[in-house]
Structure 1
Amino acid sequence: MARTASALHILVKHKEQAQDILAQLKKGVKFQTLAKKHSNCPSGKKGGSLGEFKQGAMVPAFDKVCFTGELLKPTLVKTKHGWHIVKVLYRT
């Protein structure tokens, strides 16, 4: 079972905006570009990079996507912080 993961994310307040960003990603717009432009999280300045983190370090819904979701596929997840588009880069 994976104990660490590395992910990119974009945090926005509204589901509609998150869905629009997800659609742009599917059209080939770079994740880092959209993170810098739209993310409400300080990680947006780094292209959405959260670096490597341990399982349990993030809020439960976010953690679940990072440790059980599909790798390299942007996924929508709702947390108390808002709507995230999460792209898991790898797990160790």
Structure 2
Amino acid sequence: MARTAAAMHILVKTEKQAQELLKQLEKGSDFSLLAKKHSICPSKRRGGDLGEFRKGDMVASFEKAVFSADLLKPTGPVKTRIGFHIIKVLYRS
């Protein structure tokens, strides 16, 4: 079972905005560019890249999505107390 993962995300305030971004991604938009333009997380400077983290480092709903989503396929929206996330899991190990 995977204990670490690396992911990217786009954090926005509303579920509606997250749904709109997910539709753009499904049509082939670049994840990094959308993160830089729309995310409210400081990770937007790195195109939404969160780097590698361990199980237990993230809030439960975010972590559940990261450790169950298909690799390299944008998933979401995932609700946390800070907003709605579109997540792209790069790898798990």
TM-score bucket of the superposed structures, by smaller chain: over 0.9
Aligned to 2:63: 63
User: TM-score scaled to structure 1, two decimals?
Assistant: 0.97
Task: Tell me how many residue pairs correspond in the alignment.
Answer: 92
Runs of 4+ aligned structure 1 residues displaced above 6 Å come to: none
Aligned to 1:21: 21
User: TM-score scaled to structure 2, two decimals?
Assistant: 0.96
RMSD over aligned CA atoms reads 0.6
1:88 aligned partner, one-letter code: V
Distance 1:57 1:81 in 2: 16
Identity of aligned residues (%): 62
Gaps of 5+ in 2: none
Residues 1-92 of structure 1: matches in 2 within 5 Å? Answer: 1-76=1-76, 77-92=78-93
Distance 1:82 1:70 in 2: 22
